[in-house]
Structure 1
Amino acid sequence: MPEAPPDPKPQSQPASMFRNPDYLRIFTSVGASQIGLQVAYFSISIIAVVVLDLSESQIGILYAMDQIALVLFGLLVGVWVDRLRDKPIIVVSEILRGVVMLSVPAAWALDALTVWHIFAAMFLLGLTSVFFDVAQTSYVPRLIDNKLLASGNSRIQGIRSASDTGGPLAAGPLVSLLSAPVAIVVAVVSFAVSAFSVATIKYREEEPEKPEKPHLWTEIAQGVKFIFHDKLLRSILLVSTWCNLSIGAFQAMLMVFLIREADQSSEVAGFVLAGSGVGGVLGAMLVGRISKKAGVGPTAIAALAVSGPGMAIVAASGPGWGAAVAFAGQVVFVASIVVFNVNVISYRQAVTPDDMQGRVGATQRVICWAGLAVGSIVGGFTGDVLSARAALLIAAGMLFVGFVPLLRTPLRKLREIPEEAAPQS
């Protein structure tokens, strides 16, 4: 007779989460996966800007392809994640990401690499990433108690950010040494490490309870209703979407700005992009201390207010030693965004019932990433009409005003993350 499965969320937790081997494995998975993504994105960006010499508007569309995959399928993925166990979804997603990325160097070796191929690769990379991200986000609150969520999320965000540093720093020399298509193989290895780490997690999930009469659209509507009927969740969603418009434009035009307008090499561009990783680590280190003293909500609002000026510093940089200025701006911009995200995501996870984590998380991602997709396309066309620098400055101004609506919400008085999920109506 098989042993009965454990409770969905263990009642006892180690004094340190790093003594919890399952948490350590998912922590490792996130880090390896993020390194793979950063190398993949950096290499594809170099292919687009240098190898295929795409226009600014084409590059904007390329970046949007990654985000459009989530917009089209994110809500469906949320339902599937809530119906299935998270662990197999994460493992299969990583395997598929590796296969998609392997197609790029294969096409390059056959002299068949085209703009349509990298558009398709970016779309499929985004689609497989939707499954990974939604399942991974849903998995964490199953493994640890709500009172540890902020700490657990900040550590995961920290390893994401550390990987964001290592990824571009490694990708720049790799691209120069091996060429961008071949460097993508490093990303494939990282995805394999991530899949193996999750596959070895010992914790056994219970099979999710399925509705007697499953109705896809009803289940999707439940996730949408939950997030829109909570005043604070709704406000966070709308503000995050607005901010993602600016971030999408910024990300799409950053590499164009660095290489074509600031006249930096791929190695230096990798150094600047690594500033986002340094900022992420810094934000993850500081978020707990600052939030404990100033409160979760006030810290999130203040951090969002600082993020726009950080982005503007990047846009104001120039050639040569201007890369150091751009690096500093990246640190400020990303550190602030990380502090904001850790606090608002922890709040959302804490007030969401376990059996709705996938759908609620997917709803948030779909709407926010729609903002990223639109921002990427608009940023690309703005770069075509004006310049990449102009697109970055406009994006910085948009991001700066994003914190203002939150001053009129309950977030400004939120001191701590709730310990129990909100009751479902």
Structure 2
Amino acid sequence: MFRHPDHRLLLVSVASSQIGLQIAYFSVSIIAVVVLDLSEAQIGVLNAMDQIALVIFGLLVGAWVDRVRRRPIIVVSEALRALLMLSVPIAWAFDALTAWQMYAVMFLLGLVSVCFDVAQGSYIPMLIDNDRLTGANSHMQGIRSASDTGGPLVAGPLVTLLTAPVAVAVAVAGFAVSAFSVWRIRFQETEPVRSATPNLRGEIAQGIRFLLLKDPIIRTVALSSAWCNLSIGAFQAMLVVFLIRDTGQSTAVVGLILAGSGVGGVLGAMLVGKISQQFGMGRTALVALALSGPGMAVVALSGPGWGAVVAFLGQVLFIASIVVFNVNVVSYRQAVTPDAIQGRVNATQRVITWGSMAVGSILGGFAGEAAGARTVLLIAAGMLFAGCLALLKTPIRTLTELPEEGTGLVEVK
């Protein structure tokens, strides 16, 4: 994959965008906890704002993306994300930064990110053939995960030295590099065929029907993802609160712990191809999902001081397992979905998963205020493990390898 210049540019875009996003989200979390001193419930709502934007606009964005070329959407989205992040240090410099602005920034960031994610998810299977799709997704997941490591590692010291609002501005460079890289890709998309009589409701319904009715594996993953992301949303909403307020870790150490996500992601991306080839994509995905809940529990059981090492290792296990699961199921969905409806199918999947994550963030915030952040993390770990148990007798266990486009389920011989 690295030999093709367009593919290299795509990987540069993925890496720089992810670093920018990680720095932005880490800094926003520190602003909420330290600078604005928001309550657990307020932090839960703040974490949910970008996901709420996806739920509201996701299906519309999916239909729109399938009507136009994807690359311009990616470039413009990155530019808009950069401008949104710049508004935070500017407001802080004038002593005008408020919780309401942070809510607005996160909501608008979520709206722009919907456009970016749906367009990128639809662009990748056009740029890369099916026989290389799993390998490409594992490479990109590895790049994202390495960026997930670098983002918090850079953000922690930046927040300490520059304060969180100023650190947000550093994310702008990542978004700018990403936009420039995608703009330089030479691959020419064909102009999508547009209906003479556009029917927005019908087009949206087509994506929903394909996701929920066409293929039993895609349907199984979509429904199980709703449950699993409910727990992940609660976990992520209370993680920084738990590490700073409950265990007393510094912002630099919190950045190091969160970098465990990147280490786990790289590890998962490195292992997913070989393990899936040996044991089958479906079985590998199920075992990986089963390990993610215990990884969450390890983080929740960590303590102050050297407990940071325990939290780091728990993050590695949790994210490595999630990456292995996601690479396999996303590759399958991309492979069997026709290019003409990639945007709508991707958007529908994201509305389901991120919508449940938004609910989880809000519920986790209120539960954290009532019962404590550690309790929320432990409950989330149990819920995630239960989600794996629910999948054991579903068609996903029969998945062995990627089929040709549109052929659907591949049965175990």
TM range, smaller chain: over 0.9
Tell me the residue number matched to 1:248: 233
In the alignment, which residue of structure 1 is the partner of 2:411? none
SS of corresponding position for 1:406:
coil
Distance 1:90 1:188 in 2: 15
Conservation of the 8 A alpha-carbon contact between 1:352 and 1:422: no
Asked if residue 44 in structure 1 is aligned to residue 28 in structure 2, the reply is yes
Q: TM-score, normalised by structure 2?
A: 0.98
Residue in 2 aligned with 1:238? 223
Residues 290, 388 of structure 2: 8 Å contact kept: yes
1:306 aligned to 251, 273, 291, which one?
291
Matched, 1:154 2:138: yes
**Could you give the per-residue CA deviations for residues 135-154 of structure 1, whole angstroms, max 9, x where no partner exists?**
11111100111111110001
1:122-178 Cα deviation digits (max 9, x unpaired): 111111111111111111100111111110001111111110000000000000111
- Quick one: distance in 1 between partners of 2:311 and 2:341? 40
User: 2:405, 2:212 → 1: CA distance?
Assistant: 19
| One-letter identity of the residue aligned with 2:199 | H
2:40 aligned to which of 56, 77, 95: 56
Q: How far has the Cα of 1:191 moved from its partner? A: 0.2
Structure 2 counterpart of 1:34, from 15, 18, 37: 18
Q: Distance in 1 between matches of 2:7 and 2:68?
A: 20
- Code of the residue aligned with 1:418 in structure 2: it is P
Q: Aligned partners of 1:76, 1:25: CA distance in 2, in Å? A: 28
Query: Is 1:120 the equivalent of 2:104?
Result: yes
Instruction: State the Cα distance separating 1:407 from its structure 2 match.
Output: 1.6
State how far apart, in whole Å, the 2-side matches of 1:27 and 1:422 are: 29
Query: Aligned equivalents of 1:159 and 1:97: distance in 2?
Result: 20
Partner Cα distance (1:410, 1:368) in 2: 20
User: What percentage of residue pairs aligned between the two structures are identical?
Assistant: 69
**Equivalent residue letter for 1:64:** A
User: Aligned-pair distance for 1:218?
Assistant: 0.6
For 1:107, what is the secondary structure of its paired residue?
Answer: helix
- Partners of 2:276 and 2:192 lie apart in 1 by 34
CA contact (8 A) 1:141 1:354 kept: yes
The answer to whether 1:319 aligns with 2:304 is: yes
Tell me if 1:170 matches 2:154. Answer: yes
User: Partners in 2 of 1:19 and 1:282 — Cα distance?
Assistant: 23
> 1:188 — aligned with what?
172
2:338 is matched with 353
Q: Report how far residue 420 of structure 1 moved.
A: 2.2
Q: 1:158, 1:125 → 2: CA distance?
A: 24
User: d(CA) in 1 for partners of 2:4 and 2:127?
Assistant: 10
Tell me how far apart the structure 2 counterparts of residues 39 and 65 of structure 1 sit (CA, whole Å): 18
> Is 1:276 aligned to residue 261 of structure 2?
yes
Deviations 1:333-352 (A, max 9, x none): 00000000000000000110
Find out whether 1:79 has 2:85 as its counterpart. no
Q: Does 1:131 align with 2:131?
A: no
Confirm or deny: 8 A CA contact 2:282 2:396 kept in the other structure: yes
State the one-letter code of the partner of 1:396.
Answer: A
Q: Does 1:333 find its partner at 2:318?
A: yes
Which residue identity does 1:346 align to in structure 2? S
1:362 aligns with 2:342: no
Counterpart-to-counterpart distance in 1, 2:357 and 2:169: 27
The answer to whether 1:98 aligns with 2:82 is: yes
Query: For residue 390 of structure 1, what is the aligned residue in structure 2?
Result: 375
**Matches of 1:159 and 1:180 in 2, distance apart?**
25
- Structure 1 CA distance for aligned equivalents of residues 404 and 141 of structure 2: 21
| Separation in structure 2 between the aligned mates of residue 132 and residue 311 of structure 1, nearest angstrom | 29
Secondary structure of 2:390's partner?
A: helix
Aligned length: 407
The C-alpha deviation readout for 1:47-67, integer Å capped at 9, x for no partner, is 000000000000000000010
Per-residue CA distance 1:298-327 (angstroms, 9 max, x = gap):
000000000000000000000000000000
Q: Separation in 1 of the partners of 2:198 and 2:211? A: 21
The residue number in structure 2 matching 1:109 is 93
Distance 1:117 1:356 in 2: 35
SS at structure 2 position matched to 1:206? coil
Instruction: After superposition, give the CA deviation of every residue in 1:18-57 in whole Å (9 maximum; x if it has no partner).
Output: 1111111111101100000000001110100000000000
Distance in 1 separating the partners of 2:178 and 2:217: 34
Deviation at 1:277, TM superposition (A): 0.4
Q: Is the 8 A contact 2:220 2:395 kept in 1?
A: no
Deviations 1:345-396 (A, max 9, x none): 0000011001010000100000111110000000001100000000000000
Q: Residue 113 of structure 1: SS of its match in structure 2?
A: coil
Q: Which amino acid aligns with 1:246?
A: S
Q: How does 1:285-300 map to 2 (within 5 A)?
A: 285-300=270-285
| 3-state SS of 2:391 partner | helix
- Give the conservation status (yes or no) of the 8 Å contact 1:353–1:422: no
Matched residue type, 1:234: R
Amino acid at match of 2:51: Q
Deviation of the 1:406 alpha carbon: 1.8
Q: Distance in 1 between matches of 2:309 and 2:402?
A: 37
2:196 equivalent to 1:212: yes
1:403 to 388, 402, 411: 388
Structure 1 residue 254 displacement after superposition: 0.2
Q: CA deviation at 1:249?
A: 0.3
Which secondary structure state, in structure 2, belongs to the residue aligned with residue 361 of structure 1?
helix
CA distance in 1, matches of 2:119, 2:10: 11
- State the Cα deviation string for residues 207-253 of structure 1 (Å, max 9, x = none): 11011111111100000000111222111101111000000000000
8 Å CA contact retained: 1:164, 1:277: yes
- TM value normalised by structure 1: 0.95
Deviation (angstroms), 1:421: 2.2
RMSD across aligned positions (CA): 0.8
